[in-house]
C-alpha cells in the first residue's frame, strides 16, 4: 500500500514538473462572462496579483504587489501574500521582504531553530569533539574522541585534537594521553625540556664515526662495556645489530646510551671537547634569526620526509631563535630514520630556492658543515676514544683513520 502511494506521488511530482515547464507565461482556463466561451488566459508572474481576467480582446491584467506583500510563483490569485510580520526574539532578518520574496528570519550566530525557538548550539564536553558544527537549522554533532585524539575543553566548535607526538619533537613521553588529556612529553634534562634537541650536531658527529668492524667484530660490545653510567642492556644491543647497518650501529647505540643517562652532561663529562664543538657551532649559526616562512622554505628543500609547517610552528614557540635551526635539523633526522643530518643539510642548501633567503645564512650553514667535517673533528674522535674506551681500542681506530 505504502509503495503504491509513494509511486503515485512520484508520478504526480514528475508530471507537475513536466507541465509547469510547458510554456511561459503559463495559462489557465477561464470562461468569458459575456460569451461563456472557454479562454486560455496568461497567469500572473511573481511580484504581481491578478486585476482582470483576459477577454477575447484583452490579455490578463496583472499589477505589482503593494509594499509589504509578495507573490513568489506564477498564479491566478487576486491578492498578494503578507510578508511574515517580524522576526522573533533571537532572530535576525536574513532576507528582507520584497515583491517576489517573503522575509526570511534566521537564528542568531550560535543558535538553531527548534519548534519556533532559537536554542543554543550544544557544547561538546571534554573527551568529545565537534564532528559537525551547528548551523542556524541544526544542532552541533559531538562524538567521543577516538584513540590518539583528545579534547580537554567544553566547546561547540573544537574538534578532537591529535595527541602530541613526543618522539617527533625529540622528547620522551612522561604521561600517555587519553580522550580528555594530551600526551605530556619531557626533554632529557632541565635545560632542554622546552626545546628538546635529542642529539646535538656535535654529538651526532661524534656518534657517527666509521666503525672498524673489520678489526673488532664485537665492536658494539666493547663500546657498551666501556661506556660509563647506566649500561645499554643486551636485548637493546641485539636489536640495534639486527635493525641497523654496521655504519649506523654506533650512532644508535650512543644515542640510546645518552637517552638512558638522562643527565645530558654525561656526554660532556667524558668528552670534554664537545663543549668546544658546541660553542663553535653556536658561533657559526647562533646569530641566525629566520622568519617562519624562511624556516619553512629551508626545511622544504630537504630530501625525504618533510618537516612540515606545523613542526616549524611548534619549534618557533618552544625554541629560542638560536636553537631553532638545530631543533628543525634534529626533527628532520628523526623523521628520516636517523639519516645523516649534514647530508640532508647539504642537499637542502643545494636545492634551496634562493629567493628572499639571506645569503649570509647559507654561507654560515655551509661553514658549519665544513667545520663538523674538518680535521679538527678527526682529532676530537681520537680523543673520544682515548677518553671513553682507553688506549687499546683507540689505537685500532687511529690506525684506521
Ligand X SMILES: *[C@@H]1O[C@H](CO)[C@@H](O)[C@H](O)[C@H]1NC(C)=O
Q: Does 98 bind ligand X (CB under 6 A)?
A: yes
Count of beta carbons in the 10 Å neighbourhood of residue 392: 11
Q: How far is CA 42 from CA 14, 20, 38, in A?
A: 23, 13, 13
Q: Which residue's CB is nearer to ligand X, number 228 or number 337? A: 337
Q: Which is nearer to ligand X, 98 or 186 (CB)?
A: 98
Q: How many CB atoms lie within 10 A of CB 195?
A: 21
Per the omega criterion (within 30 degrees of 0), is the bond before 25 cis? yes
Q: Is 180 in the site for ligand X (CB under 6 A)?
A: yes
Site string for ligand X, 320-349 (x = CB under 6 A): -x----------------------------
Distance CA(358)–CA(367), nearest Å, equals: 15
Which residues between 271 and 300 bind ligand X (CB under 6 A)? Answer: 289, 291
Binding status of residue 101 toward ligand X by CB under 6 A: yes
Residue nearer to ligand X on the CB measure, 168 or 377: 168
For 266-368, strand residue ranges (E) read none
Window of 173-181, 257-265, 346-354, 379-387 that interacts with ligand X by CB under 6 A = 173-181
Total interface residues for ligand X by CB under 6 A: 17
For residue 233 the three cell numbers come to: 642492556
Cβ proximity to ligand X, 103 vs 120, nearer residue: 103
Q: Least distance from C-beta 352 to ligand X, angstroms?
A: 19
| Residue whose CB is less far from ligand X, 176 or 269 | 176
181 binds ligand X (CB under 6 A): yes
DSSP, residue by residue, 244-309: S-HHHHHHHHHHHHHHHS--THHHHHH-THHHHHHHHHHHHHTT----HHHHHHHHHTSSSS---H
Instruction: Please say whether the beta carbons of 151 and 124 come within 8 A.
Output: yes
- Residue ranges in contact with ligand X by CB under 6 A: 95, 98, 100-101, 152-153, 165, 167-168, 175, 178, 180-182, 289, 291, 321
Amino acid at each position: 500500500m505504502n509503495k503504491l502511494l509513494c509511486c503515485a506521488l512520484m508520478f504526480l511530482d514528475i508530471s507537475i514538473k513536466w507541465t509547469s515547464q510547458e510554456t511561459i507565461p503559463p495559462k489557465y482556463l477561464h470562461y468569458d462572462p459575456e460569451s461563456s466561451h472557454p479562454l486560455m488566459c496568461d497567469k500572473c508572474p511573481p511580484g504581481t496579483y491578478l486585476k482582470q481576467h483576459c477577454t477575447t480582446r484583452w490579455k490578463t491584467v496583472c499589477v505589482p504587489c503593494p509594499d509589504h506583500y509578495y507573490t513568489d510563483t506564477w498564479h491566478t490569485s487576486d491578492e498578494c501574500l503578507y510578508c511574515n510580520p517580524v522576526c522573533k526574539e533571537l532572530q535576525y532578518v536574513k532576507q528582507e521582504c520584497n515583491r517576489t520574496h517573503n522575509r526570511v528570519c534566521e537564528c542568531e550566530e550560535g543558535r538553531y531553530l527548534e519548534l519556533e525557538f532559537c536554542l543554543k548550539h550544544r557544547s561538546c564536553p571534554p573527551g568529545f569533539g565537534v564532528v559537525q558544527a551547528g548551523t542556524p537549522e541544526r544542532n552541533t554533532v559531538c562524538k567521543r574522541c577516538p584513540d590518539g585524539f583528545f579534547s580537554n575543553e567544553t566547546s561547540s566548535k573544537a574538534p578532537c585534537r591529535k595527541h602530541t607526538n613526543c618522539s617527533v619533537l625529540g622528547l620522551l613521553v612522561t604521561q600517555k594521553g587519553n580522550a580528555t588529556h594530551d600526551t605530556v612529553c619531557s626533554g632529557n634534562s632541565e635545560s632542554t625540556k622546552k626545546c628538546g634537541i635529542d642529539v646535538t650536531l656535535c654529538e651526532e658527529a661524534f656518534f657517527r664515526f666509521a666503525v672498524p668492524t673489520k678489526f673488532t667484530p664485537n665492536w658494539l660490545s666493547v663500546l657498551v662495556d666501556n661506556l660509563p653510567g647506566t649500561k645499554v642492556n643486551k636485548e637493546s644491543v641485539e636489536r640495534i645489530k639486527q635493525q641497523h647497518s654496521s655504519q649506523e650501529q654506533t650512532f644508535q647505540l650512543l644515542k640510546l646510551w645518552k637517552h638512558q643517562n638522562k643527565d645530558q652532561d654525561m656526554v660532556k663529562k667524558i668528552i670534554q671537547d664537545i663543549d668546544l664543538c658546541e660553542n663553535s657551532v653556536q658561533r657559526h649559526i647562533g646569530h641566525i634569526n629566520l622568519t617562519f616562512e624562511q624556516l619553512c622554505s629551508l626545511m622544504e628543500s630537504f630530501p625525504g620526509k618533510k618537516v612540515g609547517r606545523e613542526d616549524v610552528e611548534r619549534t618557533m614557540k618552544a625554541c629560542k631563535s638560536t636553537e631553532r635551526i638545530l631543533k628543525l635539523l634534529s626533527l628532520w633526522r628523526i623523521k628520516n630514520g636517523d639519516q645523516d643530518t649534514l647530508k640532508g643539510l647539504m642537499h637542502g642548501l643545494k636545492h634551496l630556492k634562493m629567493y628572499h633567503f639571506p645569503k649570509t645564512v647559507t654561507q654560515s650553514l655551509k661553514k658549519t658543515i665544513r667545520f663538523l667535517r674538518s680535521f679538527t673533528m678527526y682529532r676530537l674522535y681520537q680523543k673520544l676514544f682515548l677518553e671513553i674506551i682507553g688506549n687499546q681500542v683507540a689505537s685500532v681506530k687511529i690506525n684506521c683513520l
